[in-house]
Amino acid sequence: MTEILTYSLKGGKKRSDDYFNEVEVFADEVNEVAEKLLGNWVEKYQKIIQKTNLENLRGKEAYAFELLTLGVLWPIYISDAEELGKISQKGLSWLTDLRQKFVQLKPIVDPIRGIWGSLVLFSSKNLSVSSDPLITQMDKLLNWMQASGEYKEEVKRLKGWQSFIKEMGEQKANEFLAQIIKLGEWFRNRSEEVLGKYTQNVDAYIEERQEDHRWMEDIVLVGRKQVEYHLNMVGMEILNREVKELFAATPKKVVYLPPCLRIKKDGCEAYETPFGEHCNACEPNCRIHQITKLGEKHDFEVFFLPDRLNSLNSEGDSDAKPKLGIVGVACPLMVVTGGWQTRDMNLPAMGLPLDHCGCHWHWDLDGGIVTDVNFGELLKIVGAQDEGGLKN
């Protein structure tokens, strides 16, 4: 079967340096447009957060990104959300919660979620979008997102906005939601111009490979649209900026890498540690081995990314000064979620996207494609120097 990479940050070049420069500039543009469309509302929301002490107050750009997420996802999934029945919504949400609470049930729960989700999550044939967005439609959209199992962190943050919007009354709520959707529409068009060259194969992958995932629990993940890749690429940049100073101030840095970076599909000799699996230097050409050697040189540790981020103990004190700074390397569709999770754990985490995807769990069921990451960007994040240019 022909390999299809949904995205590649190299854009046909040897390295992905241009991507990181372009997404940084584009994030500035996104923040500027979001400020013009939603800035006053974000400030009001921040005041409520500060007054009620619901969470440690974050920057304006981070809250605006939450609204951008809503605006981007709305036209993609609102029709399916309006068709999703209450029984399916509650049942799928319950299964998702069950899987997260009891990891040992994954082999039982995932097939059920896959079959049920494939039957009901994409049942709408109506591709039109309402011109009069209502708060009741937002309720349905968040319910659909929760049921899908792919947007738990997004729903967690949008629930706060949902309560805020409901207090406005119907007319103001509709006006505000219309502005959010307008921002999402602008982003869809503009992100295609700026980042579309890195995600050219998303539609081809969905057309040729999504059917292979029917009845599987990741059918929503592999079917995510091109604009969702762009959303997460920009979101990663925005969230990184939010924690950059906290991360830099931590005395210890740890880089977590996904197993898809291994050159060996079988026979990897990594060994278990309390922080995750650690490379045993069995293959010099393996990216994980090479990054581990970089860590030894530049004073950061390297481990395999754990299955569950809550295994990284933050000592349970949200007010304590973080002692550990994390760099999480993963697909763009995963990194923003991880950034939100680790923030709630009081762990300043910087996200770094893989240059391309390829794991055998989702993107190449035939056995997997070895992935890659930009070494220079990694060293930049941890505060080290790219000495003479790294060839990766």
Shared domain check, 178 and 33? yes
Shared domain check, 101 and 220? yes
Shared domain check, 158 and 66? yes
* 126 vs 178 pLDDT, higher one: 178
> Mean pLDDT: which of 26-35, 117-126, 259-268, 370-379 is highest?
26-35
The pLDDT value given to residue 96: 87
Shared domain check, 171 and 32? yes
Domain count, the chain: 2
Shared domain check, 275 and 199? no
Task: Let me know if residue 194 belongs to a domain.
Answer: yes
The pLDDT value given to residue 314: 46
Task: Let me know if residue 242 belongs to a domain.
Answer: no
The pLDDT value given to residue 198: 96
Shared domain check, 226 and 173? yes
The pLDDT value given to residue 267: 81
* 310 vs 355 pLDDT, higher one: 355
Picking from 73, 71, 109, the residue whose alpha carbon sits closest to that of residue 93 is 109
Residue 206 reports pLDDT greater than 50: yes
Task: Let me know if residue 127 belongs to a domain.
Answer: yes
The Cα–Cα gap between 150 and 148 comes to 5
Shared domain check, 270 and 324? yes
Helices 60-83 and 152-166 cross at an angle (nearest 10°) of 100
The pLDDT value given to residue 389: 46
Half-sphere exposure of 168 (CA within 13 A, CB side): 18
* Segment 292-306 mean pLDDT: 90
Task: Let me know if residue 157 belongs to a domain.
Answer: yes
Shared domain check, 273 and 226? no
The per-residue pLDDT for range 271-281, each reduced to its tens digit, is 888 888 888 88
The Cα–Cα gap between 255 and 352 comes to 10
The Cα–Cα gap between 291 and 270 comes to 14
Tell me which long-range contacts 161-168 makes (C-beta under 8 A, separation of at least 24). Answer: 161/45, 161/66, 161/67, 161/70, 162/135, 162/138, 164/44, 164/45, 164/48, 165/135, 165/138, 166/135
Shared domain check, 106 and 48? yes
Task: Let me know if residue 4 belongs to a domain.
Answer: no
> Both tokens of residue 140?
């349905």
Shared domain check, 147 and 293? no
By residue range, what is the domain housing residue 66? 17-231
The per-residue pLDDT for range 106-122, each reduced to its tens digit, is 889 889 999 999 999 98
The per-residue pLDDT for range 156-173, each reduced to its tens digit, is 999 999 999 999 988 899
Shared domain check, 274 and 206? no
Residue 256 reports pLDDT greater than 60: yes
Q: What's the start-to-end Cα distance of the chain, in Å?
A: 26
Residue 306 reports pLDDT greater than 90: no
Q: Record the pTM.
A: 0.91
> What average pLDDT is seen over the chain?
87
Shared domain check, 352 and 217? no
Which segment of 194-208, 241-255, 276-290, 320-334 scores lowest on mean pLDDT? 320-334
Tell me which long-range contacts 206-212 makes (C-beta under 8 A, separation of at least 24). Answer: 208/4, 209/4, 212/365
* 2 vs 5 pLDDT, higher one: 5
Task: Let me know if residue 243 belongs to a domain.
Answer: no
Task: Let me know if residue 123 belongs to a domain.
Answer: yes
Task: Let me know if residue 339 belongs to a domain.
Answer: yes
